[in-house]
Chain A
Amino acid sequence: MTEYTLIGTRMPRVDSRAKVMGKARYTADLKLPGMLVGKILRSPHAHARILSIDTSEALALPGVKAVVTGADTEGVKWGVFAYTRDQQFIQTEKVRYIGDEVAGVAAVDEKTALAALDLIHVEYEELPAVFDLMSAMTTDAEPIHAEFPNNINIHVNIDTGSVDENFANAYYIREDTFTAPEESYFHGEPYAVAARFDHDDCLEIWMPNGGPHMKSKPLSNAFKIPLHKIKVRKITIGGAFGGRSEICPADFICALLAKKTGHPVKIVFTREENTIGTRQGHAMITTHKTGVDKEGRVLARETTCYMDGGAYSSTGPIATSVPFLSMEQAYRMGSVRYNGYRIYTNKPIRGMIRVHGRGFACGLDTQLDMIAEHLGIDPVEMRLRNSRQPGEFTSTGSQVWSCAMDETIKKAAAAAGWSEKFGKLPPFHGIGIGTNSVQTGFPMGIRGGSQSFIKFNEDGEATVMSGVVDNGQGNENMLVQIAAEELGLLPEDIHLVSADTETTSSDPGSYSQVSTFVGGQAVKNAAANCRKKLFDVAAKILKTDPETLTAKNRMIYVTDDPQKSVSIKKTVRVALLNFTSVNAEGGYWPKVDMKREWVSNPYGQMCEAFSFGTTIIEVKVDPDTGRVTVLNAVACQDVGKALNPLVLEGQFEGSVAMGGQGGMLTEYHDWREGRCLNPTMLEYKVPLACDMPEIIDIIVESVDPRGPYGAKEAGMSIAMSAAQAYAGAVSNAIGVYMDSFPLTPDKIVAAIREKRQAGK
């Protein structure tokens, strides 16, 4: 086993100090000379034609510097894919949900900007709106987008063949339908954007983002100016969870206002705007039909899922696929047919979220438990019989090189005391298990690799340039840790320049769990190239071969004779004197099947590595009130290699909170005719410290052959499996398999009552 200096250690994060001192600046904290306050006028109607917009009164208000509408734009429509370009940044013809952008205002202060919004007169012709995804497909009302009949936005069809034959041979078949409403991110930081045009007509812009390069391209398209003139700057980011990957209309509106006024402009969202005006998680109705043999092995599965996509496409094709992909990775299936439909409704736009497809995944695991019970198989054993094994191919043809799923199941079960507890707990006391698998990034169709540059400074310290962004998960520390490890420096010797489109090369962005695998690997390769150049210089100084050298603790020494050494600082100076470059670059491009496409060809190698996670939850339910108390949580994941266990544990624990505690017990959106009734921190129930259980974290390392140091993604398969485990535990406690998520007290009480009545 390779000995590392920093990799694998519990290293406190390099960005924490600024954060605990209150020095870290987030977008809303920015103050630029002459900066104006921007506000967005949003549609109060769920579906309406815009007949006219009169901005004259608003413009006449003293202190108002600019008002922009769709007429001020180039009319470019945004879409993640060429075939999903359906969203203007400011609407001109129709508004499609309550919150759709209609105009923007820049004024000297917030009070004036808000007053100006009231003075913009928009004449609407209200259109019939549709809020229910099933009726959206059958309504005879005007479709939300003329180009998409029946409001069907995306249809993903996957069929491995032999499904019907395998069902015919199955020993036992079940079909069950599961539902879950929308959920939201509730990032700590409400969305904000600040923009200005500089003396060279370059746009400088700051905002929370899941990848600066994923912001600059659409802005370049929308303004029809070259990419180099869009400078997305680095800024501290208060969480993403999948919700900050795409361009946000506010980015464009803010920049447009800055352009029009010649002043910097800042727009800060209210909490409500952050909920309805960014993205949400999809509501879903999922039907799983599963056929097994006598031993419980899945021979055939047919899944149909309808997803409420809201008013625009967003990441539609990805969103329609990922819930299925996670489950096809986790479990082997003899054959499978999947039909995923993403449907437009007049509700806020849905995108990717940490637990994408909670109803889908929890439904699948709940059904496995039902089948297991029917066959008399323990749920842990049921999962072991169907779990993914290393070296196998998924149903859609991705090879899984590293996989320790069985180990996660066994270790979690041991830590949770599964065999002593399952089936032996008192009434209303239950235990449940969830297992899941998550893709470590997917470049398909939208993005690719990452590149990094490293330069040495005269003092022997290194500047590392990488496009990777940190949303709060610890990416900056990951890059510093890798660079320091490879270069033989200490973390404090690494100066990181990151997430700025002017100074860093393209990077796929920090979502879909790709940062360490691709961005980290790019830095690792750049640092290795750098080290090679350093060794060439040092070898001459030490009169030895470069291959004999090791770099550690700011020194380069002969591996077998550590006394023979030279400092990195001296090596760098010698290189400078000799006009020898010790700077280097390196990159990484994930090796996948580039012919694979979400809709047209969903087969082939989709990403290089897959993580596997198991969560076990033990709960007590108050049968009178339906309130759930979580007694224990065990989170166990195959992460490939833990680069920093301290950070990983934090990801596991946050995942249990968001995926399980919130996602399965309290979090959902409530609506009245397209109006979100709980857009705020008060009414949307994010978990609190006093309700969280103690969590046991178990890290399993399968050492992926392709990941940096063997690493894969960390935390996501806990978020997903936690949701499944919470669902399983509550069902186990009350003796009813629940099919409607999240498991709020009202549903639990109703289920208990129904069961009692049926028993009478």
Chain B
Amino acid sequence: MRLPQFNYHSPDTLEEALALLDEHRDQAGVLAGGTDLLVRMKHRLAVPKVLVSLKHLDSLAYINEGSGMLCIGAKTPIIDVIRSDRVRQQTPALVQACERIGAVSIQHYRGTIGGNILQDNRCIHYNQSQFHRSGRQPCHKDGGKICYARDESDRCNSTCQSDGATALMALDAHLILNSTRGERRVALDTFYTTDGIHPFDMQPDELLTRIELPVVQGAVSAYERLSYRSAIDYPIVCAGVRLVPEPDDAECIKSSRIVVGAMGRSPLFMAKVSQSLVGVAFDDTAAFGKAGKDAMNAAAAFAAHNAGATLEYRQSMVEKMVEKSLSQAAAQVSARKAR
């Protein structure tokens, strides 16, 4: 499969990169690992006239900690995130999510954390070859007026299958976006548009440069996902959670963040369900079960047949993924106490 033609730039500095994005705007594509963009280009789902490669911007690949923040450069390879003791200790959910991205030799060396967050929404009817898409009406995301994932839908029902974004949203991540106009910091849970065609609230001249995670004393986190195979596949449903214990009562949950992924147009932060766990004991499995059910019911509104497996199955598994990730996170608390 040949790539379409494009002009290629590999700027040496962030400033140059931003100037190129400013110049070419929506004609430009940002190339980091290429594991998402190049496949879409091969299928002609994306045909950027210009590729701006981050190849030389090694200053965007780092993991460090300071002023209560864990900072990860957007260009940091997945493998570096997995191997970082700091990330593993502070935010295990992110490591668990990264471990499940693709397979070692596909994503882990070339793929980047920024690229994983910004991978385009997917749909089994949309992520197909040009041939497959010919001979039928184009779907919303393909420039048409039809949705194959949910009949009669007037809008695109693609889904965000990013493992990283789901875990990061649970970890209350913020993104730092740079452009020639300056820098802005946006909470990941407000970064999405709810439009499956253009899922990110991001201008074409902006570049994701950094991910910031708050370091929260005593916080535990976990990520669970489902796919038919243990590697390569995108999740068909996933969940990330972060639980923070009361400072003087490690038995109880002070705050929680529950996020469901691969169901909606973005990872779904379950605000109400999260709130319901405040004050709940870490060994209250019934509460976790109820949270799972509530999350499943809340996510149901977003479900569409946009990934492999049956819709009913994916919907029902929201409950299990939330429940399992909560139990897994809670187990970290008891493991800590045992030490």
Contacts and interface: CB of A to CB of B under 8 A. Distances in A.
Direct contact of A and B (CB under 8 A): yes
Interface of A: 42-45, 98, 110-111, 114, 270, 272, 624-627, 665-666, 670, 672-673, 675-679, 682-683, 685, 687-688, 690-691, 744-746, 749-750
B55 to A, nearest CB: 25
Given A625-B317, A678-B308, A666 B229 contact: yes
A675 B134 CA distance: 10
A44 B134 contact: yes
Interface stretch (B124-132, B168-176, B265-273): B124-132
B2 A110 contact: yes
A44 B135 contact: yes
A98 B148 CA distance: 17
Nearest to A666: B228
A658 B256 CA distance: 44
Contact of A672 (B2, B148, B232): B148
Q: Interface on chain A toward B: helix, strand, loop, or mixed SS? A: loop
B132 A679 contact: yes
B233 A685 contact: yes
A677 B125 CA distance: 7
Contacts of B1: 270
B131 A44 contact: yes
Nearest to A690: B230
A45 B2 contact: no
Contact of B232 (A675, A679, A682): A682
7 contacts: A44-B131, A98-B135, A114-B2, A673-B136, A685-B308, A688-B103, A750-B312
Contact of B233 (A626, A682, A744, A745): A682
Contacts of A111: 2
Contacts of B232: 682, 688
B309 interface: yes
B309 A745 contact: yes
B94 to A, nearest CB: 21
B324 interface: yes
Contacts of B334: none
B316 interface: yes
B226 A683 contact: no
Contacts of B320: 624-625
B309 A42 contact: no
Nearest to B1: A270
A691 B233 contact: no
Interface in B127-186: 128-129, 131-132, 134-136, 148
Contacts of A744: 228, 309
A107 B220 CA distance: 60
What are the 5 closest A-B residue pairs judged by CB atoms, nearest first? A44-B135, A746-B313, A44-B134, A624-B320, A690-B230
B132 A691 contact: no
Interface in B196-236: 226, 228-233
A42 B310 CA distance: 29
A683 B227 CA distance: 11
Contacts of B132: 272, 675-676, 679
B129 A270 contact: yes
Nearest to B104: A690
A746 B317 CA distance: 9
Nearest to B324: A624
Interface in B303-323: 308-310, 312-313, 316-317, 320, 323
| Highest count of chain A CB atoms <10 Å: which of B2, B230, B313 | B313
A692 to B, nearest CB: 10
Nearest to B309: A746
Given A672-B125, A746-B313, A625 B226 contact: yes
A690 B135 contact: no
B233 A272 contact: no
Contact of A691 (B128, B230, B317, B323): B230
Interface of B: 1-2, 103, 124-125, 128-129, 131-132, 134-136, 148, 226, 228-233, 308-310, 312-313, 316-317, 320, 323-324
| Highest count of chain A CB atoms <10 Å: which of B232, B308, B320 | B308
A701 B324 CA distance: 49
Contacts of B317: 625, 749
A683 B308 contact: yes
Contacts of A114: 2
Given A43-B135, A272-B131, A745-B228, 4 more contacts: A627-B226, A666-B229, A675-B136, A678-B308
Contacts of B134: 44
A272 B134 CA distance: 14
A746 B312 contact: yes
A685 B229 contact: yes
B136 A44 contact: yes
A3 to B, nearest CB: 47
B310 A746 contact: yes
Contacts of B2: 110-111, 114
B231 A688 contact: yes
| Highest count of chain A CB atoms <10 Å: which of B148, B228, B313 | B228
A116 to B, nearest CB: 14
Nearest to A42: B131
Given A670-B308, A672-B148, A749 B230 contact: no
B129 A272 contact: yes
A98 B316 CA distance: 34
A45 B309 contact: no
Contacts of A745: 226, 228, 309, 313
A747 to B, nearest CB: 9
B268 to A, nearest CB: 19
A189 B280 CA distance: 55
| Highest count of chain B CB atoms <10 Å: which of A110, A270, A272, A627 | A272
Contacts of A110: 2
A40 B134 CA distance: 15
Nearest to A673: B136
Contacts of A626: 313
A410 B174 CA distance: 62
Contact of A45 (B135, B148, B228): B135
Contacts of B312: 746, 750
A745 B316 CA distance: 12
Contacts of A673: 136
A666 B124 CA distance: 17
A690 B227 CA distance: 13
A30 B283 CA distance: 64
A688 B231 CA distance: 8
A691 B229 CA distance: 7
A750 B315 CA distance: 13
Contacts of B131: 42, 44, 272
| Highest count of chain A CB atoms <10 Å: which of B132, B136, B232, B324 | B132
B60 to A, nearest CB: 28
B226 A685 contact: no
A685 B124 CA distance: 14
A580 B124 CA distance: 69
B211 to A, nearest CB: 26
Contacts of B228: 665-666, 685, 744-745
A45 B323 CA distance: 45
| Highest count of chain B CB atoms <10 Å: which of A625, A626, A627, A678 | A625
Contacts of B309: 744-746
Contacts of A43: 135
A1 to B, nearest CB: 45
A341 to B, nearest CB: 28
A685 B228 CA distance: 7
Contacts of B124: 670, 677-678, 683
Contact of B230 (A625, A683, A688): A688
Contacts of A679: 129, 132
Contacts of B233: 682, 685
A599 B228 CA distance: 40
Contact of B316 (A666, A690, A749): A749
Contacts of A675: 132, 136
A676 B136 CA distance: 13
Contacts of A272: 129, 131-132
| Highest count of chain B CB atoms <10 Å: which of A110, A624, A676, A744 | A624
Contacts of B148: 672
